[in-house]
Structure 1
């Protein structure tokens, strides 16, 4: 198991497909086989690529959660294996936006994703975003890992 001290932005950016400013997470603070917790500060950046005008709507927090799920997949992949399979976020259910925007949140975002079901190529996560103990967003997300079926790519 990798030590969280080494799971910073540089590590994350080399292990998920999101590059440059689209890599939104700053570090992993804890993880195990079922859960991951990450921190992000990019919601406060005026150059955040998810902003619309001058706002970063709370629904954009779903992308933060999806990136935490991608990091979780990378951490669970065997070290000597090929890169983890690409996944697609195929549905979000039961999402509740507890605030209207993220860009005016002064505290760092605390993103948590918990795997509540996994069956081969499909994973269901429960996710939450908090800041300074305040719940901002929660919901469930389904990820499909056999992305080659969707894209028509062959392995």
Structure 2
């Protein structure tokens, strides 16, 4: 089962995903995809880690999620945006190459039999990016979100902490 949760920044996506996971499992996995960019970001990641209790298994993987063996587990994947950033940067901002590699990695990952709750941001609904790289990343994010949403069994859009069922 793949449950796709999207929404804007601070819309309640992660809290909703965590509650969903705990309804499904007593020992879910939290799959964090963020690279640590600076000390402020490191502190934010640590705050996230500290917010989860001992029921959670925390796994950090920046890109190669298909290497993880999560068969029959409940997994919160947080988040597509940070995961895609790693492909985008590693491909020197080439959208086509980053999208191709991310889609391929995602397809290998979802071959496992598990409950996957995947969080992503809807960044194209806000202010138009002022830089070329920002506009390219917005496109990349939108295309990957569409790909994931098509594969999802269930899709939820979060607005102001409220879940709206899309699928």
**TM-score, with normalisation over the residues of structure 1?**
0.29
Structure number with the higher helix fraction is 2
Give me the TM-score of the superposition, normalised by structure 2.
Answer: 0.27
